[in-house]
Amino acid sequence: MVKEELISDLKKNIMKTLNLQDLDPEVFGDNTPLFSEDGLGFDSVDALELVVMVENSYGITIGDKDEAKSIFASVSSLADYILAKGK
């Protein structure tokens, strides 16, 4: 899977997982911060749901909390991590 396809797939999965059907996927860019106030403003509950989604959908385990912060910085950084770990 190429990065662009994975990013598109991730956006759809994020929207489904967090019940964001009303959000236009074009509203958040590939590098829009997921957890900051100037980005999408996701919270810690959202983070847990996204970790489970990544594990279930892509077979990737994220165990290190400090590492998770950089992995989930944006959809692009998440895609890079998934691609590096083998999908």
Q: Are 39 and 33 in contact (CB under 8 A)?
A: yes
Q: Position 31: which residue type?
A: N
Chunk the chain into consecutive blocks of 10 residues (it has 87) and report each block's average pLDDT, rounded to whole numbers: 93 94 79 89 93 95 87 96 86
Q: Position 43: which residue type?
A: D
pLDDT, residue 65, reads: 81
User: Which helix (H) or strand (E) element contains residue 75?
Assistant: helix 75-84
Angle at 46 (CA atoms; ends 15, 69), nearest 5 degrees: 110
| Domain residue ranges of the chain, discontinuous segments joined by + | 3-22+31-84
pTM of the model: 0.89
Whether domain 3-22+31-84 has CATH 3.20.20.70:
no
pLDDT, residue 63, reads: 79
